[in-house]
Structure 1
Amino acid sequence: MARSRTKNKNASTHLFCFSHLRWSFVFQRPQHLMTRAAREFTTWYVEEPRDFDGPPFLHIEADSSGVTVVSPLLPKEFDQRQRNAAVKIMLARLISQIRPQRLIAWYYTPMALQFTEALEPDRCVYDNMDELSAFAGAPNGIAQMERRLMSRCHVVYVGGHSLYEAKRKRHGNIHVFPSSVDSAHFRQARFVESEAADQSSIPHPRIGFFGVIDERMDLKLVAELAALRPEWHLVMIGPTAKIDPETLPRAANIHWLGCKDYASLPRYLAGWDVGFMPFAINDATRYISPTKTPEFLAAGVPLVSTPIKDVVRPYGERGDVEIAADANSFAGKIDFLLHRPRSPWLASVDAHLSRMSWDETWAGMRQHLDVVTPDNSEMAEARSV
C-alpha cells in the first residue's frame, strides 16, 4: 500500500479529507488547501467511490504534492447500502493500520457521513465551499445529511459571504473564508512570450473563459454574444460536466478547447484580451464565490461577469470587475475594456490581491483546529434534529 512519506512536524496527526471532487479533475479550493495541510499533517484525500470490475478495493496513491489520494473502487452492481458499508469497512481498516495519534476529519461533502459516521475524530471540520443541494444531480437527502454533519463539527467554514449569511446561524463556530488566489502562478500570464499552440491561430480580439462548464453557465448568453460580435472570438477552456456536450453553442467564433491542466492556464490567459464569466443567475449560482475571479485579475486580464453576488461585492464595487446582465451589456462592457488603459486598473487590482493568498487562508483556517469552543444553543439544537 503506497502512501505519502512527506516529512512534517505533525506527521502523527492524520487529516482525512472527504470530497465530492476528484483530486485530478480541476485544481481548486480543496487542492489548494490540502496541499498546504500536507506540509504540516499526514493528509489523505478520500474521493467518492468509482465503479470497478472486482471486489471492493482502496486504490491509494501518493501525489507529488504530499497528499495521498484514496479512491474506493467498488463493484458496479453494489447498491447504495452495500457501497456505504464497503467503504466504511475499508476506511476503518486503513485507519486502524496507520494508528494516528490525532485524527482530523475534513468534509467537503455531507454525503461522506454515510460511511464515516462511526469515526470519532479529534477535530471535525466542514468546509462548505458551495451550496451542493442546489446543484444539478444533487443526492437525495443532502440537506438532511448537512444538518447532521454540522451538528458533529467543531468548526464550519464557508466559501463566500452570501453563503455565510445564509448559514451563519446554523452553527456556533462558523467562519467565512472566500476562495483565494495563487497570484504568483497566474501572474506568469503577464510575461508569457509563447502562447499555447492550440490557441495561437485564433484571431483577436479573444474573449476567454476557464472553468467547469456545467449547469451554472448561461450558454444562451454565450451564443448571443458570439452572434452579436462575430469579429470577436470566444475561447472556452474547461471540462463539461452534468450537461450534454451537444447542447454547447456552436459558431465559427466560439472555440471549445477542452480541459487544460492548472500549470498551463497562464499560457492561455496570456493570449486573451478580455475575460468573461457568463454565469447563469439560478439556484446553483446563488451562493457561489468563483475562485477564478481573482485568478483572472492576477493574470492581468480585464474581466466582465454576470451579477453574481460575491463578484459584485467586492470586485464590482471596487471597479476590479465589470458587471453585465445580458449580451448587449456584455458587448458594451467588453468594448470598454478593450480600449481602457490597463495601468491604473492593474495597480488597483494588485493592491487588492496583495492581501489575498491561499497561504493566508490556510493559516486562518488552521488556527481554529486547536481551539475548543463551548457548546451553544445553535449546536445543541442541531444535535437534536
Structure 2
Amino acid sequence: MSTAAMCPVDRATLPLAESATTLLVFSDDWGRHPSSCQHLVTRLLNRHRVLWVNTIGMRPPRLDLQTLRRGVGKISQWISPRRPTAEQSTAPAPRVLNPRMWPWMQTPWQQATNASLLERQLAPVLNEQRTPVYAVTTVPVVADLIGRLPVERWTYYCVDDFTQWPGLDGDAIRSLEDRLFERCDAVIAASAVLQRRAEERGCPTSLLTHGVDLEHWSMGDRVDSATTGAERSPQVLFFGLIDERLDSDWLNQLDANVSTGSISLVGPCQTPPRTKGCQRVTLTPAVPYADLPAVAARADVLVMPYIDAEVTRAMQPLKLLEYLATGKPVVVRDLPANRAWADCLDLASTAEEFVRLVRLRIGTGLPLSQRTARQRLLNESWDAKAEVFRRDLLGLPAGV
C-alpha cells in the first residue's frame, strides 16, 4: 500500500543519474550469515541504493548464555556500529542501519512500541532519500510500519513458517504475520508450501526458490590433495543450524549402525540433539561460509536428517542446493522441498531407510545418474534469482 504521499519528495528535480530506486530491507544482521535475502540483495547492490535494517530476533529473550551473547552483540551494534574495513569499503555494500528495538514482541503493547521506535528512527533516513523507496521484509515484526513510512511498495519475502518455528511464540508471530499479509503489496514465497499458505489468506504470491553459487561450492575441489588422498575413516556431515528440527532418533540409529568414521554436525547450536551415549556424533561450532566448501569436500556423505513436521514441510532449505553443488552423495528426509530434486539425491522416509542409504553411499559414492541430473543446478544461479526478485519487488512485468 503506497504511503509516499504521507512524506512527499519532489522527484521532478532529481538528476537522471538518481532516477533509480532505493531498497529498504528488514532482515537478519547483514554479514552475520549468508541468508537467501543477503545472497539476493548482494547481487542488486550495483543497481540500487540499499538500506539494510538489522532487526532483533523473534525468539523471546531467555536467561541463558546464548541470549546474553546475542544481547551484548545487539547493544554493541546500537552503541558503536561496525565500520567497513578498507577491503570491504571498495566493494558495493548496503548502508546498514541498527535501530534500537524492544526485544519482546508477545503483546500488542510490545508490538506497538517496536513500531513506534522504528518509525521514529527510520522516517528521517527515508525522508532524505532522493529516489522512491521499495521495502522488503523477511520478518513479520515490521507489520505495523506499513502506512507509517514513506515507502512506495511493501513486499513480504516469506522464507519460513515462523509460526511453527522452534522456540518462537507462534501466537504472537501469527498475529503479526496476519497483519503483514493483509497490508503488504506483494508476497514472495521460498517454497510451494509457503506459497499455498499465503494464497489461502488471499495474497497473490510468487514463488522464488533458493539459488546456489556454483563457483563458491566448487572451491571444495581444491582441498589439499594430501588431506584428500590420505587414509581416513568415513565422515557423514550435516552443516547448518542445529536445533529441534533435527531427528535425534535418526542420528542415534545411524550412530549404532556405522562401525567406523564420524557423524559431524557443524553449525550454530540452539538445541543439541539427544545423542547422549553416541560414540560418533560430534558437534562443531559454525565455520565461516568461505570455509564450508573445504569442510564438505572432506565428507563422504552429506545428510539432512530433519523431523517430519509442519515447520520442516514448509521450509526450503538453503543448504539443499549447496549440498548438491559439492558433488557429494546427499541423503535427506523425504520432505516436499526435497522431492523436486529426487533424481539428484536419496530420499528416506524412515530411520532404517536413512541408515541403509547412508551406508550405501559411503560405499558407492555419487552414482552417475545423480551426477548427471545435477546439471540442472546450472539454471539455479543466485544471479538469475536476483533478477526475478528485483522484478517482483518493484512490481515490474516479466522481462523488464
Query: Normalising by the residue count of structure 2, what TM-score does the alignment of the two structures yield?
Result: 0.79
State the SS of the aligned residue for 2:323: helix
In structure 1, what residue type is equivalent to 2:324? L
The change in CA–CA distance for 1:53 and 1:26 in structure 2 (over 3 A counts) is closer
Aligned to 1:382: none
For residues 300-346 of structure 1, the C-alpha deviation after alignment (integer angstroms, 9 at most, x for no partner) is 0110001111102x112xx2110113332122111222233646245
Give the alignment of 1:43-54 within 5 angstroms.
Answer: 43-49=50-56
Residues in 2 aligned to 1:309 and 1:55: alpha-carbon distance in whole angstroms: 38
Structure 1 position 296, deviation (Å): 0.9
Aligned to 2:240: 211
Residues in 1 aligned to 2:200 and 2:265: alpha-carbon distance in whole angstroms: 39
Residues in 1 aligned to 2:123 and 2:204: alpha-carbon distance in whole angstroms: 28
Of stretches 46-55 and 79-88 in structure 1, the one that deviates more from structure 2 is: 46-55
State the SS of the aligned residue for 2:133: strand
User: Any unmatched runs of 5+ in structure 2?
Assistant: 1-16, 57-70
Aligned to 1:125: 155
Give yes or no for contact 1:57–1:74 (8 Å, CA) kept in 2.
no
Give yes or no for contact 1:212–1:238 (8 Å, CA) kept in 2.
yes
State the SS of the aligned residue for 1:367: helix
Answer yes or no: is 1:42 the counterpart of 2:49: yes
Aligned to 1:276: 303
Residues in 2 aligned to 1:111 and 1:144: alpha-carbon distance in whole angstroms: 10
In structure 2, what residue type is equivalent to 1:216? R
Q: 1:110 aligns with which of 140, 143, 154?
A: 140
Q: 2:341 aligns with which of 304, 315, 325?
A: 315
Residues in 2 aligned to 1:354 and 1:134: alpha-carbon distance in whole angstroms: 33
Of stretches 98-107 and 55-64 in structure 1, the one that deviates more from structure 2 is: 55-64
Residues in 2 aligned to 1:92 and 1:183: alpha-carbon distance in whole angstroms: 39
Residues in 2 aligned to 1:73 and 1:118: alpha-carbon distance in whole angstroms: 17
Answer yes or no: is 1:366 the counterpart of 2:373: no
Structure 1 position 178, deviation (Å): 0.9
Residues in 2 aligned to 1:179 and 1:118: alpha-carbon distance in whole angstroms: 31
Residues in 2 aligned to 1:303 and 1:89: alpha-carbon distance in whole angstroms: 48
Aligned to 2:253: 224
State the SS of the aligned residue for 2:253: helix
Give yes or no for contact 2:249–2:351 (8 Å, CA) kept in 1.
no
Structure 1 position 210, deviation (Å): 0.7
Q: 1:257 aligns with which of 284, 287, 291?
A: 284
Give yes or no for contact 1:126–1:157 (8 Å, CA) kept in 2.
yes
The change in CA–CA distance for 1:177 and 1:267 in structure 2 (over 3 A counts) is same
Structure 1 position 33, deviation (Å): 0.9
Residues in 2 aligned to 1:55 and 1:38: alpha-carbon distance in whole angstroms: 22
Instruction: Report the aligned-residue RMSD.
Output: 3.2
Q: Which has the higher strand share?
A: 1
Structure 1 position 259, deviation (Å): 0.2
Q: 2:21 aligns with which of 7, 13, 20?
A: 13
In structure 2, what residue type is equivalent to 1:315? W
Aligned to 2:206: 175
Aligned to 1:383: none
Give the alignment of 1:62-141 within 5 angstroms.
Answer: 66-73=93-100, 80=110, 81-96=112-127, 98-115=128-145, 117-139=147-169, 140-141=171-172
Query: Normalising by the residue count of structure 1, what TM-score does the alignment of the two structures yield?
Result: 0.82
Residues in 2 aligned to 1:172 and 1:74: alpha-carbon distance in whole angstroms: 28
User: Any unmatched runs of 5+ in structure 1?
Assistant: 1-8, 374-385
What percent identity do the matched residue pairs reach? 22
In structure 2, what residue type is equivalent to 1:39? N
Give yes or no for contact 2:247–2:273 (8 Å, CA) kept in 1.
no
Residues in 2 aligned to 1:161 and 1:358: alpha-carbon distance in whole angstroms: 19
Structure 1 position 58, deviation (Å): 8.6
State the SS of the aligned residue for 1:106: strand
Count of residue pairs brought into register by the alignment: 357
Residues in 1 aligned to 2:146 and 2:80: alpha-carbon distance in whole angstroms: 15
Residues in 2 aligned to 1:107 and 1:195: alpha-carbon distance in whole angstroms: 46
Structure 1 position 138, deviation (Å): 2.6
